[in-house]
Amino acid sequence: MAAQVEWERKPKGLDANLKDYETAYRTFRWEDVEREFDWVTTGKVNVVHEAVDRHAASSRKDKVALYYTDLERRDERYTFEDLARLTSRFANVLKRLGVKKGDRIGTFLPRTPELYIAILGINRIGAIPVPLFEAFMEQAIQDRLENSEALACVTTPALKPRIPRRSLPALKCLVLVGDEGPLSSDEVSYEREMASASDRCEPEWLTKDDGLIIHYTSGSTGKSKGALHRQYAMVGHYQTAKWALDLRDDDCFWCTADPGWVTGTSYGIYGPWTLGVSSVVLGGRFDPDRWYQTIQKYRVTMWYSAPTAYRMLMSAGEAIPKQYDLSSLRHICSVGEPLNPEALKWVKKITGLAPHETWWMTETGMQLICNYRSLDFKIGCTGKPFPGTYATVVDDQGREVPPGQLGHLVVKPGWPSMMKEIWNNPSKYQEYFRIPGWYASGDSAFKDDDGYIWYQGRADDVIKTSGERVGPFEVESALVAHPAVAEAGVIGKPDAVRGQIIKAFVALRKGHQPSEPLKKEIAEFVKNNLAAHAAPREIDFVEKIPKTRSGKIMRRVLRAWDLGEPVGDTSTMEE
Ligand code: 6R9
């Protein structure tokens, strides 16, 4: 436990949406939140009605839902009414292509308004969006579109070559955004189809249990897995956006995450828009100047980002933020990895506000352990369970451990946005419930005497690099596809800015010599086949990859090698 605990104290009577955590935690009922949704009275469920149509039919009609800029070519704003119209058009485009309720549709697009319109257009007809991060290369795309058996994919001419269509028999059609050229018979132009589509499309009425979205994410073994969420998840998105992000009607909210990741949909789309709050999207690459400029330009009031981003801003120095007016900010939150106290204090220094932790996962769909705007917290802690949920720390048998003792971070199943299934993989789903009575996160943590939970790291081999979740197996598979690589083992190596970086140990095939150019070539190969963020930043050549007798890579040994430490017990290692 931290020797000297520093508190972030909150003024009494602070005007937050969640005024008194302890009372709320005692009295909270999800049924009360359900009443905020129209489906409670109509029985007709569709997130697009709750996030768009009901606002478009209210006094929020002309309110800006989405501010979009790339600070160069595009500078646009879309009201809730615009979103109702455009997502209806896109829904009609999909209908014309024969897409029906329950079909999976990929979105492989840069962060542009079309991506948001596509996701909600897919939802409108009850189909299931499968967002694919823009930086994914061929292998990553193939794995995800193959597993989800997506019927169509919305993409751009520039990204299209990365979709291996010949090996995706289920993929019938591409919708191309920004294409003026000739199209093949299984392609349509987004612009041309949108121009002739009707502005009206009643949502497909669903049940609470029907599909909302599939987000692919990584585990410590195997290929990426698709976490399917249900429509009912919107109840969790809504309430956490209200109490953890503290969103209000007059806020201008900036969630910096891409919808290719769960944060970019739960809190880039569903949370803020079910609340009717204006959201900012910045296209293009990370750059400190552009980020501060965005806060200034839109007078952003609530900012939700990740520790790596805060640390990158920190390393760019204090002179840059001084050139911008950041005084509009009133609340800041953080997600994806632990926020180190140094970065927290730096953000506080430049904005006057300490970022508040929110802990959750792709599979949990919503924030579960948070620091709250009105509640004192200890700097460095992960926070307290969200009202209506119960997260705690247990031993291997599922018994809660005493304060201060390290254990598995678990959650009592049954919160609104818990994933419904792992797509096409019931046994993977069951693995999350291996500790009797609990959803096992795979993280380790301890609870202190005051009930604050302190994240202590992953208990498995999953890597978090720049806040993005990467499975070692995916990287190892990409590495061994290189002609010079015989075997590979991958670990996350601690890094001051990125949290972890990907480090690969590589054994070469006969006839290949270790060299610096070869390292570069191998890293480049992974970048081009999987994704830039999944490419190893460090490669060590070794004779052999340490494996157990049953053939499992011993990453514990790799980590010890990396640190130059003794390897410990190797009795299970193969000869
Ligand atoms: C939303 C998201 C989930 C894993 C999770 C944990 C780590 C997320 C954190 C955090 C410490 C926080 N994580 N938030 N660790 N403090 N506030 O990140 O989902 O990409 O699925 O990652 O990220 O290890 O298990 P996902």
Write down the pLDDT at residue 312: 97
Mean pLDDT of 177-192: 92
Residue nearest to atom 18 of ligand 1 (CA): 336
Mean pLDDT of 380-404: 98
Write down the pLDDT at residue 342: 96
* 42 Cβ neighbours under 8 A, 6+ residues apart: none
* 129 Cβ neighbours under 8 A, 6+ residues apart: 104, 105, 106, 107, 118, 119, 122, 123, 213, 214, 265
Confidence label for 572 from pLDDT (cuts 50, 70 and 90): low
Mean pLDDT of 403-411: 97
Confidence label for 24 from pLDDT (cuts 50, 70 and 90): very high
Measured from the CA of 455, which atom of ligand 1 is nearest?
A: 11
Confidence label for 571 from pLDDT (cuts 50, 70 and 90): low
- Distance (Å, whole) CA 509 – CA 483: 8
For CA atoms 225, 231, 236, 240, give the dihedral sign.
Answer: positive
Q: How far, in Å, from the CA of 233 to the mean position of ligand 1?
A: 18
Q: How far, in Å, from the CA of 557 to the mean position of ligand 1?
A: 25
Residue 334 phi, psi dihedral angles, 5° rounding: -140, 150
State the DSSP H helix or E strand holding residue 291, giving kind and residue range, or none if neither.
helix 288-298
Where are the strands (E) in 374-495, listed by range?
A: 377-378, 384-385, 391-394, 407-411, 421-422, 439-447, 453-458, 463-465, 468-470, 485-495
- Distance (Å, whole) CA 270 – CA 28: 21
Identical fold at 30-218 and 463-563?
no
- Distance (Å, whole) CA 422 – CA 216: 9
* 350 Cβ neighbours under 8 A, 6+ residues apart: 318, 321, 322, 326
Write down the pLDDT at residue 575: 56
221, pLDDT greater than 90: no
- Distance (Å, whole) CA 164 – CA 184: 15
Q: How far, in Å, from the CA of 443 to the mean position of ligand 1?
A: 9
Task: Return the best residue to mutate from 335, 382, 460 for the ligand 1 pocket (most ligand atoms within 8 A of CB).
Answer: 335
Name residue, tokens 């790596």.
Answer: 308
Render pLDDT for 298-344 as a digit per residue (tens, 0 to 9).
999 999 999 999 999 999 999 999 999 999 999 999 999 999 999 99
Of the listed ranges 143-157, 488-502, 519-533, 540-554, the least confidently predicted one is: 540-554
- Work out the angle at residue 242's Cα, subtended by the Cα atoms of residues 225 and 498, and round it to the nearest 5 degrees: 50
Query: Is 556 buried (19+), middle (13-18) or exposed (0-12) by CB count in 10 A?
Result: middle
Write down the pLDDT at residue 350: 98
Confidence label for 241 from pLDDT (cuts 50, 70 and 90): very high
Write down the pLDDT at residue 525: 97
Render pLDDT for 186-209 as a digit per residue (tens, 0 to 9).
999 999 999 999 999 999 999 999
Confidence label for 37 from pLDDT (cuts 50, 70 and 90): very high
For the chain, domain boundaries: 30-218, 463-563
Domain 30-218: CATH superfamily is ANL, N-terminal domain (3.40.50.12780)
Two structure tokens written together for 97: 């292509």
Write down the pLDDT at residue 501: 97
Mean pLDDT of 365-387: 98
Task: Provide the CATH topology of domain 463-563.
Answer: GMP Synthetase; Chain A, domain 3 (3.30.300)
455, pLDDT greater than 80: yes
Q: What percent of the chain has pLDDT over 90?
A: 94
Q: What percent of the chain has pLDDT over 70?
A: 98
Write down the pLDDT at residue 35: 98
345, pLDDT greater than 90: yes
3, pLDDT greater than 70: no
Q: How far, in Å, from the CA of 106 to the mean position of ligand 1?
A: 24
2, pLDDT greater than 70: no
Two structure tokens written together for 169: 């028999």
Q: Which residues approach ligand 1 with their CB closer than 6 A?
A: 217, 262-263, 335-338, 357-362, 382, 441-443, 455, 458, 464, 469
Three-state DSSP class for residue 504: strand
Task: Return the best residue to mutate from 422, 443, 444, 456 for the ligand 1 pocket (most ligand atoms within 8 A of CB).
Answer: 443
Residue type, 440: A
Strand order from edge to edge, sheet including 356-359: 75-79, 64-69, 278-282, 252-255, 302-305, 331-334, 356-359, 369-370, 384-385
From residue 256, alpha-carbon distances to 141, 249, 259, 518 in Å are 23, 19, 10, 35
Q: Considering the entire predicted model, what is its pTM? A: 0.95
Are the C-beta atoms of 154 and 177 separated by less than 8 Å?
A: yes
Mean pLDDT of 104-131: 98
Q: How far, in Å, from the CA of 265 to the mean position of ligand 1?
A: 15
Confidence label for 180 from pLDDT (cuts 50, 70 and 90): confident
- Distance (Å, whole) CA 8 – CA 575: 53
- Distance (Å, whole) CA 266 – CA 146: 24
Are the C-beta atoms of 562 and 491 separated by less than 8 Å?
A: yes
Name residue, tokens 């569709």.
Answer: 46
Residue nearest to atom 19 of ligand 1 (CA): 361
Mean pLDDT of 482-501: 96
